[in-house]
Structure 1
Amino acid sequence: MRVRTCFGFALGLVCLTGAFMFTCYRRSVYAQPQFSPNQELPLPLTAGQLPVQFIVRGLEPSNRTDSQGTIYVTSIRGVPGGVDLHRWSPLVDPAPNSDGTLPFVYLGQPDGCGIFASGCDLVGVAEGGGDVDIAVNVPGLASSVPNLALVSLTLAPGVTSTHSSDRGQSFSQPNPVAALIPGDDRQWIDGIDSQTVYLSYHDAATFNIEVQRSNDGGNTYVDGFGEAIDAQTFPAVGGVPATNTANVAGPIRVDRTNCPSRNNLYQVFVGPDNAQENLTGQTFRSVYVGSSTDVNLGLPVFTFTDHKIFTGPMGSSGENLFPALDVDGFGNVYAVWSDNSTIYFSSSTDQGSTWSTAVPVNQGVTVGKANVFPWIAADANGHAVVVWFGADRAGNSNNTSVMEPCAAGSTTCMTDWANWNVYLAETTNGHDAAPVFVQSVASDHVIHRGTISTGGLGGGANRNLGDYFQVSLDPQHRANIAFSDDHKLSPLTVSGHTGIDDPQARRLIRANFTRQLQAIPGIVTTGVCAATTVAPGSKISGKGMLPAAATFGFIAKSTPLNGALQYQDGGASLKARSSNGIDSLTFSGRCGTFTGNAKINDQPGYRFRIQACDNTDSGTGQDTFSIDFAGPNGFAYHRDGTITDGNIKLQSQ
């Protein structure tokens, strides 16, 4: 039986005592220098105020490019060392170097220096360093500078959040309790408009994927709530009981287009194909997406409907390591994942409801070899860029005997280890049934030798490169790639092990960066928006206030059955929200009644029953709302009345 593994909270700390190659699929291009020389983003060797110092690493770089062309790269040191941030902006930083490399500026540790640090502005009790992600917004009326949001992870208390309104020169005081649920894993964020940011993360207790909204640029995430795994899918991928396989969550993405699909949310994840496979610890052979189209209602809650993208054969697995997803400039959605050998790609032109037949992305010399850690960025109309790590030999990336053959005691056997490079494949017709990809090598040297672990904290293979790396696109449709690299020896040598081919020598682990010097031809920036779909059935939704200042927000829909609730009664010191959707919904006249499980003050084990009535279009002073909770030790709660603020809306389709 397979035991669930946490893939986030990626790493703890370590203590002290060119030439370009091109292959094409279904068309050819001229070979030409396409990328800037790879450049290392420098960091100090050691840090910390403990009795021993910690080796600083630049792992799992997240990278975003805002609408003004400013590039941000952040990487983790490991808990509790926090994260590091680098920036290059065409508006405020020096011009690119003559070889195309960029003079990045180091901006320190935005999630704080931790309790052991001194002499810094942002000292906190539980700064991150386990996982990191960033998001960029667009300029707003109050500022001409796009907002930059950042989250990092410590398992307890959880997600730390902060943001910057001056291109990373300064950040808000880190908020170590950004997640509503304590005990979190693998958080992701994405932004839209000038101040809206969405956060997704695993609830470590159930392994549902929680989603929260921030309306203040990513300082707090209290303005909206949803669960990306719906009630119908949860038995196949949920983490109850704890011996289930559960799921691995990729990034959350928001539709930032000017199409009718704008504001839609998409959460990609992989898991078993059905409930029986989940209960018996089978592999992550199915790829799913949770789509939220009711986030546009402006309610404090929203729902997701899950769709299956792909199912592999029994025994295969799509978590090598994260699946990834993005949305182009016309609302088309693209997903990528790896089975450890093939990078797969699929697209949706109807807001995630249906998906094209999956096609292989990797070509030429990479076919049949180990290929892991895919990521994707999309823009324009059908333009998508996929990156991944590819090895020069066949075999599973975790297999030591294949990737790291070595005689006992050898100090030179790394010469026989697998060599890894960064690959990129690009398409300008990604939403077609048979997209055409052009593949190239983005790294100008071997970035790593040996195994690459895809097992997260439970893996036994090498984790020097962390669990992922990212690509972003600039306003000119050029790819910016940041990745971890350990091809150099660390100056902090291990006695007796100083050779470059010695497997026991200490490696220097740093984030590296390269960028496309020009966009490929054929990128289309006009076209038709992705199709919109209207779900059948009826739904009732609303938000408002009862007498004595109890507030609520809810949505409940019949097809498929799903819903969400958020409720707060300050006088009773009660905060409640639904857990795993709803399990019944009935309509009578202008009223809807629905039930489900709830968490009260973050504690599970409660039931709720709602009756809401849409008595008039205006709502306030006419619509009615009734709520009941029941729970452990005879707990009971009831409130009802005519709402004093807000509106309840019944819709039939």
Structure 2
Amino acid sequence: MSARCHWTRSLTIATLALIASAGITIMPATAPAETVGNFSFGELGTGAVGSTGCGANVAGEPAIHVSRADNVFLGSENGLGGGSELWRGLGALGGSGASGCGLEYRGQPNAVSGVGAAGGDIDLAIASAPNTAGNYNLYVSSLNLASVNVARSADNAATFSQTPVQGGLPVDDREWIAAFGAETSLLTFHEVATNNIEVLRSDNGGVLYTRIATAIPVGDYKEANNELGNLVIDHRNLPDQTGNFYAYQSFVAPSKPGGSHNNEAFLAVSADGGHSWADRPIPCSVASATTNLDHNFPNVSVDPAGHIW
């Protein structure tokens, strides 16, 4: 888990009341949420699995995604050994009756035999095509001491299966995950020994991950000094008709060899589904040689039209 200060914390969610879809039933909150303008917000609870309503939690570093079926999934972590938490909303949650506490608590997806495993860092990914049951696979990755745990669900977070990503891996830190199609996902993390960004791929719904590349070429000056950000996949633009896809890994590093400050933003780009990468400097992102862009964490997004942000 990346070095950072820890403090008493909780996760609060705001729901915009203007994004309603007709015919969606809003899950009622069991305790009132507050409203400011068009937003309803409140602290999510971690009581019984399946419950909704405001409550209390100690989760931090949340991640939220919306599937193509308009299902909302929100994950957060309690720190190493404390486990991860997950909430869901099936169907759009907007409208005049929207509640910031309307998400349903689904428990700890990265738990093993009911014990709160993992919990160091968290990321979510949702498949871009339905599985054989008609659902979009959900992946929840979390740091588990020296390895990564990926919890996967094929039934909209009703149940989860576990994939401890351990065998043959070096000690790792700060994982990110992205999904493509019905069964493919990429997983990246920092290898502590070299500080490079390792890339793993699964083509069977997260059952098995195999190391396929590094996002920074071995021996490149940026390998030993960088801070990685998130990983995304372009679901609209395809490089060819062979099943390949574009993937993007954000990071910051020194602008030139010998630099001691991560003063330039970079984007590692793959056009073959993660098997090979080219590192591209972000135009106009260079700060002074003594200025550090090493914030946790740089972030990249691809919008539905295929534009990179």
Instruction: Give the structure-2-normalised TM-score.
Output: 0.78
Of residues 135, 158, 161, the one that matches 2:150 is 161
Where does residue 47 of structure 1 map in the other structure? none
Q: Is the 8 Å Cα contact of residues 43 and 101 (structure 2) preserved in structure 1?
A: no
Partner AA of 1:312 in structure 2 = A
Q: Does 1:288 align with 2:266?
A: yes
Residue 10 and residue 213 in structure 1: after superposition, are their counterparts in 2 closer, same or farther (change >3 A)?
A: farther
**Offset of residue 139 of structure 1:** 4.0
**Offset of residue 263 of structure 1:** 1.1
Of residues 2, 19, 25, the one that matches 1:7 is 2
Residue 80 and residue 254 in structure 1: after superposition, are their counterparts in 2 closer, same or farther (change >3 A)?
A: same
Aligned ranges 1:590-629 → 2 under 5 Å = none
Q: Is the 8 Å Cα contact of residues 215 and 278 (structure 2) preserved in structure 1?
A: yes
**Offset of residue 330 of structure 1:** 3.7
Q: Is the 8 Å Cα contact of residues 9 and 154 (structure 1) preserved in structure 2?
A: no
Aligned ranges 1:105-504 → 2 under 5 Å = 105-112=104-111, 121-123=113-115, 127-140=117-130, 142-156=132-146, 158-172=147-161, 174-178=162-166, 180-222=168-210, 225-231=212-218, 234-235=220-221, 237-239=222-224, 246-260=225-239, 263-277=245-259, 282-295=260-273, 302-309=275-282, 310-334=285-309
Where does residue 36 of structure 1 map in the other structure? 39
Where does residue 460 of structure 1 map in the other structure? none
Partner AA of 1:112 in structure 2 = A
**Offset of residue 8 of structure 1:** 6.3
Aligned mates of 1:332, 1:95 — CA distance in 2: 26
**Offset of residue 329 of structure 1:** 3.0
Q: Is the 8 Å Cα contact of residues 159 and 179 (structure 1) preserved in structure 2?
A: no
Q: Is the 8 Å Cα contact of residues 131 and 137 (structure 2) preserved in structure 1?
A: no
Name the larger-Rg structure: 1
**Offset of residue 285 of structure 1:** 0.5
SS class of match (2:74): strand
Where does residue 103 of structure 2 map in the other structure? 104
Percentage identity across paired residues of the two chains: 28
Partner AA of 2:280 in structure 1 = H
Residue 133 and residue 179 in structure 1: after superposition, are their counterparts in 2 closer, same or farther (change >3 A)?
A: farther
**Offset of residue 138 of structure 1:** 3.1
Partner AA of 2:102 in structure 1 = P
Residue 304 and residue 260 in structure 1: after superposition, are their counterparts in 2 closer, same or farther (change >3 A)?
A: closer
Aligned mates of 1:179, 1:160 — CA distance in 2: 12
Q: Is the 8 Å Cα contact of residues 165 and 209 (structure 2) preserved in structure 1?
A: no
Aligned mates of 2:66, 2:178 — CA distance in 1: 12
Residue 96 and residue 43 in structure 1: after superposition, are their counterparts in 2 closer, same or farther (change >3 A)?
A: farther
Aligned mates of 1:179, 1:74 — CA distance in 2: 26
Residues 449-496 of structure 1: CA distance to partner in whole angstroms, max 9, x if unpaired? xxxxxxxxxxxxxxxxxxxxxxxxxxxxxxxxxxxxxxxxxxxxxxxx
**Offset of residue 257 of structure 1:** 0.5
Where does residue 598 of structure 1 map in the other structure? none
Q: Is the 8 Å Cα contact of residues 123 and 176 (structure 2) preserved in structure 1?
A: yes
SS class of match (1:73): strand
Residue 329 and residue 83 in structure 1: after superposition, are their counterparts in 2 closer, same or farther (change >3 A)?
A: same
Q: Is the 8 Å Cα contact of residues 264 and 287 (structure 2) preserved in structure 1?
A: yes
Residue 249 and residue 102 in structure 1: after superposition, are their counterparts in 2 closer, same or farther (change >3 A)?
A: same
SS class of match (1:267): strand
Aligned mates of 1:129, 1:8 — CA distance in 2: 15
**Offset of residue 34 of structure 1:** 6.5
Aligned mates of 1:13, 1:130 — CA distance in 2: 16
Partner AA of 2:216 in structure 1 = I
Partner AA of 1:104 in structure 2 = L
Whichever structure has more helix as a proportion of its residues is 1
Q: Which runs of 5+ in 2 are unaligned?
A: 15-35, 48-55
**Offset of residue 327 of structure 1:** 1.5
Residue 247 and residue 34 in structure 1: after superposition, are their counterparts in 2 closer, same or farther (change >3 A)?
A: farther
Aligned mates of 1:201, 1:110 — CA distance in 2: 20
**Offset of residue 66 of structure 1:** 0.4
Residues 193-251 of structure 1: CA distance to partner in whole angstroms, max 9, x if unpaired? 011111000001001000111112223212x611101247x21x222xxxxxx111001
Partner AA of 1:276 in structure 2 = G
Residues 132-179 of structure 1: CA distance to partner in whole angstroms, max 9, x if unpaired? 1110013435121110011110232x101120011111101x232357
Residue 13 and residue 204 in structure 1: after superposition, are their counterparts in 2 closer, same or farther (change >3 A)?
A: farther
Aligned mates of 1:151, 1:163 — CA distance in 2: 9
Q: Is the 8 Å Cα contact of residues 147 and 166 (structure 1) preserved in structure 2?
A: yes
Q: Is the 8 Å Cα contact of residues 67 and 138 (structure 1) preserved in structure 2?
A: yes
Residues 339-379 of structure 1: CA distance to partner in whole angstroms, max 9, x if unpaired? xxxxxxxxxxxxxxxxxxxxxxxxxxxxxxxxxxxxxxxxx
Residue 213 and residue 161 in structure 1: after superposition, are their counterparts in 2 closer, same or farther (change >3 A)?
A: same
Residue 56 and residue 182 in structure 1: after superposition, are their counterparts in 2 closer, same or farther (change >3 A)?
A: farther
**Offset of residue 35 of structure 1:** 4.0
Q: Is the 8 Å Cα contact of residues 283 and 315 (structure 1) preserved in structure 2?
A: yes
**Offset of residue 184 of structure 1:** 0.5
**Offset of residue 123 of structure 1:** 4.6
Partner AA of 2:266 in structure 1 = Y
Where does residue 59 of structure 1 map in the other structure? 60
**Offset of residue 276 of structure 1:** 1.0
**Offset of residue 38 of structure 1:** 1.7
Aligned mates of 1:249, 1:171 — CA distance in 2: 28
Q: Is the 8 Å Cα contact of residues 111 and 122 (structure 1) preserved in structure 2?
A: no
